[in-house]
Chain A
Amino acid sequence: MFDILKMSISALLAHKMRTVLTTLGITIGVFTVGAITAIIEGLNSSFESQISMMGSDVFYISKGSWFGGYESWINARKRKPVDVDLADYISENAINVSATSPMVNRHRTLKYKDKSIESVEVTGVNHLMPMIEGTEIDAGRFFSESECRHRKNVVVIGENIRKEFFPDTNPVGEKIYISGHRFMVIGLFEKKGKMLFNDMDNRVQVPYLTFSKLFQRRNRGANIAVKSTSTAMLDDSKEEVRNLVRHYRHLKPSDEDDFAINQMNTLVDMYNRMTALLWAVAIGIGSISLVVGGIGVMNIMLVSVTERTREIGIRKSVGATRQKILFQFLFESMAVCSIGVISGLLLATGAAYIIHTFTPLAAKVPANWGILGAGVVVLVGLIFGMWPANRAARLDPIDALRFG
């Protein structure tokens, strides 16, 4: 068997250029599927499961829809901003709501001694936010209701901030500056990781009243995070809150909502739709180019069988059975395929590396690619090599010897 395999390979080496050109289709197919799976893999590793789990019972009231596209964004621009006091109004009046918090945010520069970090997401929230978001505090504590009410300059920092400012010291009790205002670090968030293009560890939270006082003179609007009593009650509480907001904003029954209720699930849905589309593209391009590539392989194998008719006659005259000739040509077509598959995988690995290096997306080569590639080799090689190989095996020895 090994000797037959060797024969196949030496036949391929005799026509290097032709072999490489033939495998181009397969190379492109494997590259496409490979590169797209690498991208999806990268997206998946960013979009950690905790994030997609997070907030399955949480929704956000905003001026506009997060995922509505350009038109709804234009629409939303004309609307009244969402008022931070709406949070209290909802928690006082809604039955199916366990907690609410305003969310106001800005990107600000943080300083500690001679170190500084630019463009950190500073969010003003109330004391209930960790409970709503399901965020753990690794060190220290979150701020209290009274600290919020008294507009205290206290801050809870994310993992990235700690790494930068306090690589080997306890951050709790230290003083940092946010846009020149002195804050005391009272707590440290657990590490959250990246969510899509957003680094969840590159943020700090402060009391929203402190935030309004220091960073937001003009009311530019807030989001309100609302946690329903349970995931099962989510739809009920959304409806209840919708009516409360309409009432709060004095909308007539005929008026449309001038606000939007958003959910992380929307993000998850969008993410799923996007990856499904990517998969469809991968499978579409992949299978088309594999079929095209397979036909190329079949064509080249037919040419090869014709060219080597005499060789086949010689082999039969010294005792090659039909099976052995069949195997020889099947191995050959699988070898052609494997050249295409290997170069496709190498290209895709290169692409994944480039994406990983030059974009925030952690594109990654899935470990099971080897198996996938081997599967493609066997499948395409066998399917498209069978006819030519069978033709070779069935040649009549005398006719074959007389050929050419």
Chain B
Amino acid sequence: MENKKFKLVDIIFETEGCDVGVVLDRVLKRTPDDIIMDMIDSGLRGRGGAGFPTGLKWKFTRSESAYDKYIICNADEGEPGTFKDREILEKVPMKVFTGMAIAGYAIDAKEGFIYIRGEYRFLQKKLQSQIDEFNQMLENKGLDFKIALRWGSGAYICGEESALFESMEGKRGEPRNKPPYPTVAGFRNKPTVINNVETLVYATMINKYGADKFKELGTRDSRGSKVFSVSGDTPKAGIYELEMGLQVSEFVKEFGDGDTKAVQIGGAGGTCVPRKKFEDMIIGYEGVPTGGSMMIFNSSRSMYNVLHDYLEFFAEESCGQCTPCRVGCQQLLKGIEAVKRGERPPSYLDDLKSLAASMKIASKCGLGQSVANPFSTIIDNFREEVIY
């Protein structure tokens, strides 16, 4: 496994010399197929968490013959410990819009929407005027594409793409059955490209610098760089763009407070990496994938409390429609409480792990499917802390 040394990168927030108008002009001179080929070649994978190859997503959507197609920028950013999309939208909004316009050009969509977290209302005025300005620029360039804002209302599940479409359609935000996937039937059941805020900025930058430049960074399966939201027991909480493929130990060396016991990578639904595995794990698709959330815990933290918090979050934020997730989350939560109180034997944790395994394969969407990640990794690595 290749692994990378710590390296700060400045692509996402780079503003110098980045005239999005110039990038767009270059894009519009090329064919949509060429743009998509480049995206595939770059190896860019979605930065929202699931890591689907962006170029392929665009290609699939392009190959659908529907008249109406949509581009959606997922700015719901509900994952605990993630706060990068807000920063990106505040600092480099034009690069996000440009990514949407490029995607629109590539798949032949005329409308794009930014579905943004309700808590980011304070951005509304500024963002709207920037969108207006951008739409005007597109009109001047003769590109038939318009962007509009849509507001979420605070449910974590509405960041899941199909629940997001439901929410945008004015319905209850519940994930849909898949297939069909968004590339075939997304918003209003039309072919839709949905990408994370950060993914769209990389799309812009790949079109600025070329795929090769992007490929120079990262590893074979995890090309490029990524924005991380670093929080927890760290003297340097904040947002950092780092090369992909970084070894966890390198990360801890840079951001830990010297007493790091574990890092939760990928938010509440991510993986807990304990100290003894820091050397074995890299941050990337061949190791531990992440949408950017990196929570650092030092030895003063009770991993029982950490897990308890996550489970409370899931029991609350599950949409509640499917059995394994709705009831499973409650059982895992009540179960560790019962073990803690001595009402159930420690061996009950194994029943719960088996339940978590069923939740992973039988839940309807990524939320229920991911609860087993923190559960199993924390139980496996910090069993004593959970029991006593």
Are A and B genuine complex partners? no
Chain A contact residues, CB within 8 Å of chain B: none
Chain B contact residues, CB within 8 Å of chain A: none
